[in-house]
Amino acid sequence: MLYLLVILIIGALVYAGWRITRAQANRPQTRVIGPDDDPEFLWRLSHGDNNPR
């Protein structure tokens, strides 16, 4: 009976570890925002508000 309990505990730990690694693998990557993604930058380009300093 003790062996069955140990096997169930080990199986639960392996399953939990597998689920955690799968969850982190499917997590979306962080997004880098470039100048083309910045609406204020694009608005300044289109409206001529880029005066040289």
Is residue 6 one of the residues assigned to a domain? yes
CA 3 to CA 1: how far, in whole Å? 5
The mean pLDDT of 12-19, rounded to a whole number, is 95
The mean pLDDT of 7-20, rounded to a whole number, is 95
Is residue 2 one of the residues assigned to a domain? yes
Is residue 3 one of the residues assigned to a domain? yes
> What per-residue confidence (pLDDT) applies to 10?
97
> What per-residue confidence (pLDDT) applies to 34?
67
Is residue 14 one of the residues assigned to a domain? yes
Total domains, the chain? 1
> What per-residue confidence (pLDDT) applies to 36?
66
Interval 19-47: pLDDT, tens: 988 877 676 777 766 666 677 777 777 77
Domain limits for position 17: 1-28
> What per-residue confidence (pLDDT) applies to 50?
52
> What per-residue confidence (pLDDT) applies to 17?
93
Is residue 20 one of the residues assigned to a domain? yes
Is residue 40 one of the residues assigned to a domain? no
Helix (H) or strand (E) holding 5: helix 2-25
Which residue do the tokens 């693998």 mark?
A: 25
Is residue 9 one of the residues assigned to a domain? yes
